[in-house]
Every structure is written in C-alpha cells, then in structure tokens.
Amino acid sequence: MKRILPLFFFLIAAIAAAQPSRQYITVIAEPDHSDWIYRCGEKATFTLYAVKENARMPLTEIEYGYGPEKRKAERSGKVTTGKDGFAKITVPGRKEPGFTTVSVKVTYEGKTYTGQTNIGFDPYSIRPTTTLPDDFSAFWEKEKAKAAEVPMLVKERYCPEQSDDRVDVYYVRIQSFRKGNYVYGVITVPKTPGPKPAILRLPGAAVRAFNGPDPLAYEGFVVLDIGVHGIPVDQDPEIYRQLENGSMSGYVLKGIENKETYYYKRSYIGCVRAVDYLCSREDVDTARIATYGGSQGGMLSIVTAALDERISALFAYFPAFCDVTGYYCGRSGGWPHLFTNPDEPMIEQKVLTSKYYDVVNFARFLKIPGFYAWGFNDIVCCPSSTFSAYNVIPAEKTLCLAKDTGHWLYPWQTEKAMDWLKHQFNMK
C-alpha cells in the first residue's frame, strides 16, 4: 500500500515552492493604513526601513520611488533612516480608483535589495477599461454549438503506478473543438461508492506534463487536471521545453488579429468539453462541479464557469487576462500585458479581439458563487486588473486578500478556499 500524505502537506509544499525566497536584507515600505486601502485623494504616509538578521538597520540610505502601478515612477528620492532605523515619506493620493506602487531599494556591500508595496485607492470602485461587444454572447453560443456537434471519442488509460488503495488514476484524451483536436488530462477518482463532487483543475501558463494522483481527490473529489494546448500531458520534459522554445513560443499572441483565429478560442471551448466529459461519468455528481485554477488557470476557471451552466462553484486566484486593454487606455493591464506599444501593427484589431476573450466580460455573466484570492503586490496579474473583473461580478463572491503576496498564495488562503468549496457542496 502506498503511503498517502495529508492534503495540507501537498498544498503547503506546492504553494511554498511558488513563494519568493527571503532576501538577506528585507526592505519594507509600510503604509499607515493597515488594510493598505485609501480614499481617492487621501495622502499616505509610509515608514521605510531595512531589516538585516531580524534587526532594523540604522543610518541606512533607502532609495524610493512611487507612481501608478506598473507605470513609470512619478517621483523618486533618497532618505536615511534614523538611529531607530525608520524614515518616513508622504505619497499623494490618486484622483481616480486604482493602485500606487511604492518601491524601495538598499545597496549593501555591493549588492542591491529591493521591496515594494502597492496601496489601493478605492479598489472596489475600479472599473474596467475593456467594453462588452454587442455580439459577445452570440459569438460564444455559436462556438459552443459548433463544438457540441463534435463527438468526444474518449480514450482512457489506467495508470496503476499512480493509483493506490484510495484512488484510481487515468490519463484521458477527449476530442474537442473540431475533429482531430483533443483535450488531454489526468483524472483522479476516489474509490468510494456513488457519484462524487468534481473539480475541473485548470493550468497556469506553460507547456508541461501532468501527473496523478491529484491530492484533492483524497478529500472526496473527482479531479480532472487538463492541459489546454491540445498536447499529450505524459511526454518527456524535453519535449515541452522544445515546444516552449519553438512552435508554442508566444502562444498568447497567436491569431490575435481576429476573434475567429485567436489561440484561446480552442482553449476556452476545450474547457467546456472537459465539463462534457465529467458529466458523462457515472461517478460524478453533475450538480456539484467546480472549476479551480490560478493565473491562466484562474482566467480559465472564470471563463468556463461563465460559459457552462453546469458549473456550480468556482475558485480563481490571481486570474490572468483581466482588463488587458488597460495599457491601451493609459493604465496597467493584466497578464500577458498586451498593448504596451501604441504603435504596434494592427493594434485596433487586436484590441477588438481581446474584448471577446477578456475575463472581465465573462465575469459580467457569472451566476454562481465564487471564491477569489490574490494580493496587492502581484506584478504579474496586477490588482488593478483583477479588481476590474471582481467588481463587475453580479453573483455571490468572496475575496480572500493577503495584501503582501505577489504571484503566490499563503497556505491558509488555499485552506479557506477548500473549506468554502466543501461548504458549497455540503461535504462534511
């Protein structure tokens, strides 16, 4: 019998791997509001200090700069900490809802140590820059109807070496989008009798392999982990490295000149096809299916829940592709940070295409409860973008913030999400 480690071990190990390693010197910009939130126009006072070996550094020069999130600093300067190790600066308030970044830097023995703090000005009032095309719903209904005519032609391969006395693991291939196009994934099924709640677990940005068993299955869920590139998920790692450096390089830009050809159309429809597959299984309770993912996976979690009424709950952390027209409109935008160059070729056509794929426009149509999590210091999926999506959601929503986090979560955030999901699904 294989030894099964508890769920929290897997969650902590996975999340800790994504957290940044601690610097020898930690440079801190501490705002005078503990929630990091201010009213528009309200000034913020920051206490700056550097910590080495758990002690503040007195008489130390700290360089600072501040300005709109992910934009050029509006002001920079230097201050020297006092004998108590502290220095203070004042940052002016923003005129409109959004985020201001305060960056700090210390040079010590020839090495540079940095830190940053993002403060929000009325973040729950941030409105998106993207707009909803008149034919948005009609476009996606048409695409779903076309894909529904394609037979699934499911192939499953049992994986005994990844299965144990509690779960079975299968590699699956499901035809999707059009004939000869497939969704590949790994499904982990608890051996308990009867239909069980299911999680469609969606991937972050990359081209990579997937393995079983998924640790969430030991909590009683059927878990389907999928890729969204139409590539088998059980190949040698070298194959994925070659793809990322070759034909899959820059996949987020492929076909963006036209909504009919954009890369993510296949991915979005593939997620719906994965739900088709889950609903075809007798061991899945089709009234209890959730989507789950972070970054690109958070993007796909929201999109799938909006496209497919069979989803009954969702968990999305720091979702990507939110309000990607931000840079085009003079403020920060979400990953993958499109339209930073106003002179790029065919930019108007690309902007129009993005509106059919932007998470904001899917968020407008959500009807189910959702649990969301991110931090203010995320420079990949910046909070101006994620709040732009969150603020337009009309359905029940819970936001779990850890302000100091970047593009990662603390274990307690994931634990809260799982407690929330079990409550939604009436699981003991």
Residue of 231, 183, 214, 422 lying closest to 315 (CA atoms): 422
Distance of CA 85 to the CA centre of its chain: 37
What's the mean pLDDT in 360-382? 98
pLDDT digits (tens, 9 = 90+) for 151-183: 999 999 999 999 999 999 999 999 998 899 999
Give how many domains the chain has, as a whole number: 2
pLDDT for the residue 50: 98
The residue out of 72, 105, 125 marking a domain boundary is 125
Segment holding 323, helix H or strand E: none
CATH label of the domain that carries residue 71: 2.60.40.1930
**CB atoms < 10 A from the CB of 337, how many?**
19
Distance of CA 393 to the CA centre of its chain: 16
Q: What separation in angstroms does the CA of 68 have from each of 3, 95, 251?
A: 50, 11, 29
Residues in the chain: 428
In a domain, 13, yes or no: no
Q: Could you tell me which residues come within 8 angstroms of residue 71 by beta carbon, excluding any fewer than 6 positions away?
A: 331, 332
Domain co-membership, 215 together with 328? yes
Domain co-membership, 29 together with 83? yes
In a domain, 14, yes or no: no
Residue of 96, 103, 73, 139 lying closest to 326 (CA atoms): 96
In a domain, 67, yes or no: yes
CATH label of the domain that carries residue 211: 3.40.50.1820
pLDDT digits (tens, 9 = 90+) for 259-315: 999 999 999 999 999 999 999 999 999 999 999 999 999 999 999 999 999 999 999
Q: What separation in angstroms does the CA of 238 have from each of 226, 235, 244, 250?
A: 19, 8, 10, 18
Confidence band (pLDDT; 50, 70, 90) for 358?
Answer: very high
pLDDT digits (tens, 9 = 90+) for 16-61: 445 667 789 999 999 999 999 999 999 999 999 999 999 999 999 9
Domain co-membership, 28 together with 154? no
pLDDT for the residue 301: 98
In a domain, 43, yes or no: yes
CB–CB of 300/319 below 8 Å? no
User: Nearest 10 degrees: CA dihedral of 270, 275, 276, 278?
Assistant: 130
Segment holding 275, helix H or strand E: helix 264-280
Domain co-membership, 107 together with 144? no
Residues spanned by the domain of 101: 23-125
Domain co-membership, 69 together with 144? no
pLDDT for the residue 177: 86
CA atoms of 320 and 53, how far apart (whole Å): 36
What's the mean pLDDT in 398-423? 96
Domain co-membership, 115 together with 160? no
Domain co-membership, 115 together with 140? no
In the chain, what are the helix, strand and coil shares in percent, each to the nearest 5? 25, 30, 45
Would you please indicate which residues are annotated as catalytic (active-site) residues? 295, 378, 407
In percent, the amount of the chain with pLDDT more than 90 equals: 92
CB–CB of 213/158 below 8 Å? no
What's the mean pLDDT in 398-425? 96
The residue out of 104, 125, 146 marking a domain boundary is 125
pLDDT for the residue 48: 98
Domain co-membership, 147 together with 68? no
Question: What's the pTM value of the predicted model, to 2 decimals?
Answer: 0.94
In a domain, 418, yes or no: yes
The residue out of 73, 92, 125 marking a domain boundary is 125
**CB atoms < 10 A from the CB of 235, how many?**
14
pLDDT for the residue 19: 64
422 vs 15, higher pLDDT: 422
pLDDT digits (tens, 9 = 90+) for 2-16: 444 444 444 444 444
Domain co-membership, 345 together with 322? yes
Question: For the chain, what is the mean pLDDT?
Answer: 94
pLDDT for the residue 176: 94
In a domain, 6, yes or no: no
CB–CB of 379/349 below 8 Å? no
In a domain, 17, yes or no: no
User: Is the C-alpha dihedral spanning 194, 199, 200, 202 positive or negative?
Assistant: negative
pLDDT for the residue 342: 87
pLDDT for the residue 428: 73
Domain co-membership, 161 together with 50? no
Domain co-membership, 252 together with 351? yes
In a domain, 266, yes or no: yes
pLDDT for the residue 282: 97
